[in-house]
Amino acid sequence: MLQDILFASALLALSVTIHAAALSYLLRWLVRSTAAPSASFWRSTALLIGVAFRLVISHLLQVAAWGLFYYSEGVFGDFPSSVYFSIVTYTTVGYGDLVPTRPWRWAAGVEGLTGILMCGWSTAFFFAVVSRLHRPIDDRAA
């Protein structure tokens, strides 16, 4: 069981690293392409689509890392099933049509918790971008 927790902890750390790198990249991208708070609806919307797309890519990379782990450990018979289980677990959808064997249930639980944290982090980041784009006129001069 200790080994399972160590593997899950390493994957959690990898997920945080991937997400931190993605957000760092995204911040640099936003500085170069940020629409001014007075930008048109379409310019602001295009920027938000770009942010959302990049956040989803970050999450998919994390899901793929967890899926690769499940596949390499033989938890599921093929890579597509491993990634499918990973995305269902990471997003906490939890269909239940694929269930890992007993030793890997700890990892799956940690993946679900990791997904909640990373999605929350993305939500906070997205909210900050929207807030920056739509802050009141009085705050723009400050």
Output the pLDDT for position 34.
62
* Count of CA atoms in the C-beta half-sphere (13 A) of 26: 23
**Would you give per-residue pLDDT tens digits along the chain (142 residues)?**
788 788 899 999 999 999 999 999 999 998 887 666 666 788 888 899 999 999 999 999 999 999 999 999 999 999 999 999 999 999 999 998 999 988 888 899 999 999 999 999 999 999 999 888 877 655 555 5
Output the pLDDT for position 40.
79
DSSP 42-88: HHHHHHHHHHHHHHHHHHHHHHHHHHHHHHHTTSSSSHHHHHHHHHH
Domain range annotation of the chain: 2-135
Looking at the domain covering 2-135, what would its CATH class be? mainly alpha
What does DSSP assign to residue 98? Answer: S
> Within 10 A of 109 (CB to CB), how many other CB atoms are there?
14
Phi–psi pair at 79, nearest 5 degrees: -65, -45
